Amino acid sequence: MSIETSGYGTFLIILIMAVVTLATRWGGVFVMSFVPINYRVQQFINAMSGSVLVAVLAPLAVTGDNGARLALLTTAVMMLTLRKPLPAIAAGILMAALSRQF
Amino acid sequence: MLSVEAGSVSLDRNLVWSGFKQLLPISLFVIVFAVAFGLAAAQTGLDATSTLLMSTLVFAGAAQFAVLDLWGPHVPVLPLVVTVFAINARHLLMGATLYPWLRELPRARRYGVMLVVSDANWAMSMQAFSNRKPGLGLLFGGGLALWSAWALGSWLGLKFGSVIQDPVSLGLDMVMGCFLLAMVLGGQKNLRMLIIWSVAAGASLLAYRYLPENAHVVTGALAGGVLGAVWTEKKHEH
């Protein structure tokens, strides 16, 4: 099932996003008032946090141009060395821009 | 298990204001990310109202970026719901870890405070609690600062977005990719995680090739999550 992104459709999509996100913000507190979240569930959520982002990125890296790959590589290296996201992201974008000029 | 000091769960106007001020430096960075989102949203074709509404009502950067990836004339609902949930699932754990202190609040305040929970204010309030200091002001006041910054930056990004003609040549199409990668690499890093990420990436790519559109995010997320649940870290007993 899809929602058209015209007129009220977009608003509905945003509403759905908001409700789902609210459920995640409230859900932990709510569940804990009945039963502690067990260790395996914690491990699942922790592993899923990074995995979902990797899952979005993987096709980007594979189908993107060299500029895209260079950008991701640059960001990765800078994050691992500097540990500051803002410079790492900026450097990645800069590398993409530079590599596309030539 | 950290014990809950009576003083550490107080929440009054002064603490909220103090929390707000303490998160202002980080809020500056948040503004920059939000500008990037506003730009990306404009390039994706979202109108100003929708972009602002999204940032204000959802207040979740990574998820918002990922949804732009799904955007088109139609947006499939199931991938939308699962993607937003999976990316934001860590809020569940934030709520759970804050519970010992939050439960001292009346219900309305408890859930009201959680409206603006995000990585930065969660981390700072947990740090305060572990030092037996009040953390709820950091959580709520700080959250308000982060939220305002996110909305403001999104609006600014919209303004810039209408000015830029060729985002790809400026590398701006990589804003989402680099942002998400920075978030991945900002988290826990060890061999186990690396293997989990590799499995997630592999699953995502296979799904991208062989499964219907947009199944790759769910597939990769579940593959990584299940592996993490099955192959747990050694427990640390407090």
Return the bridge partners of B202, or none. none
Nearest to B21 by CA among B128, B153, B129, B145: B145
**B238 pLDDT above the threshold of 50:** no
3-state secondary structure of B46: coil
Mean pLDDT to the nearest integer, B102-129: 93
Note whether A86 and A72 are same-domain residues: yes
Q: From the list A2, A51, A75, which residue is nearest B200 (CB)?
A: A51
Tell me what the pLDDT averaged over chain B comes to. 90
Give the model's pLDDT for residue B63.
94
Whether B165 shows a pLDDT value over 80: the answer reads: no
User: Do A53 and A88 share a domain, yes or no?
Assistant: yes
Nearest CA in chain B to A62: B205
Please indicate, yes or no, whether residues A48 and A18 belong to a single structural domain of this protein: no
Tokens of B95: 């709520």
Distance CA B122, CA B95 (A): 9
Q: Which uninterrupted H or E stretch holds B74? A: strand B74-76
Lowest mean pLDDT among A21-25, B90-94, B170-174, B184-188: B170-174
Query: Rounded CA gap, B125 and B111, in Å?
Result: 16
Q: Which helix (H) or strand (E) holds A2?
A: strand A2-4
Q: What is the pLDDT along chain A (102 residues), one digit of tens a residue?
A: 888 887 789 999 999 999 999 999 999 999 998 988 889 999 998 899 889 999 999 999 999 899 999 999 999 999 999 988 889 999 999 999 999 888
Q: Please check whether residues A88 and A53 belong to one and the same domain.
A: yes
Window 40-99 of A, Cβ < 8 Å to B: 40-62, 64, 67-68, 71-72, 75-76, 79-80, 83, 85-86, 88-89, 92-98
Domain count, chain A: 2
Contacts B29 to A, Cβ<8 Å: 85-86
Residues in chain B closer than 8 A to A17 (CB atoms): 54, 57-58, 60, 63-64, 67, 80, 84
User: What would the mean pLDDT of B116-128 be, rounded to a whole number?
Assistant: 91
Taking residues B149-170, report their average pLDDT: 85
**Does residue A55 sit in the same domain as residue A81?**
yes
Does B213 score more than 70 pLDDT? yes
**B51 pLDDT band (50/70/90 cuts)?**
very high
Cβ contact (<8 Å) for B216 and A28?
A: no
Whether A31 and A59 share a structural domain: no
Q: Are residues A26 and A58 located together in one domain of the fold?
A: no
Please return the burial class of B4, using the count of CB atoms within 10 Å of its CB with bins 0-12, 13-18 and 19+: middle
- Please give the share of chain B, as a percent, with pLDDT higher than 70: 97
Residues A7 and A54 reside in one and the same domain? no
Query: Are A46 and A84 in the same domain?
Result: yes
Same domain, A46 and A24: no
**Which residues neighbour A15 within 8 Å (Cβ) at sequence distance 6 or greater?**
B57
Q: Which residue of A has its CA nearest to B92?
A: A28
Q: Which two tokens stand for residue A52?
A: 């979902």
**Buried b or exposed e, range B179-210, using 16+ CB within 10 angstroms:** bbbbbbbeeeeeeebeebbebbbbbbbebbee
- B89: nearest CA partner in chain A: A24
Q: B85 pLDDT exceeds 70?
A: yes
Choose among B69, B77, B86: nearest Cβ to A3.
B77
pLDDT for B236 beyond 70? no
Per-residue confidence band for B2, with pLDDT thresholds at 50, 70 and 90:
low
Whether residues A71 and A45 share a domain: the answer is yes
What average pLDDT does range B59-84 have in this prediction? 92
pLDDT band at B4 (very low <50, low <70, confident <90, very high): confident
For chain A, the 3-state helix, strand and coil shares in percent, each to the nearest 5, are: 80, 5, 15
Range of the domain at A15: 1-35
Q: Of A1, A60, A5, A52, which Cα lies nearest the Cα of B177? A: A60
pLDDT of B188 over the 90 cut: no
Whole-number pLDDT of residue B3: 67
DSSP conformational letter for B162: T
- Do both A45 and A60 map to the same domain? yes
Q: Is the pTM of this model over 0.90?
A: no
d(CA B121, CA B138): 6
The Cα–Cα gap between B180 and A85 comes to 10
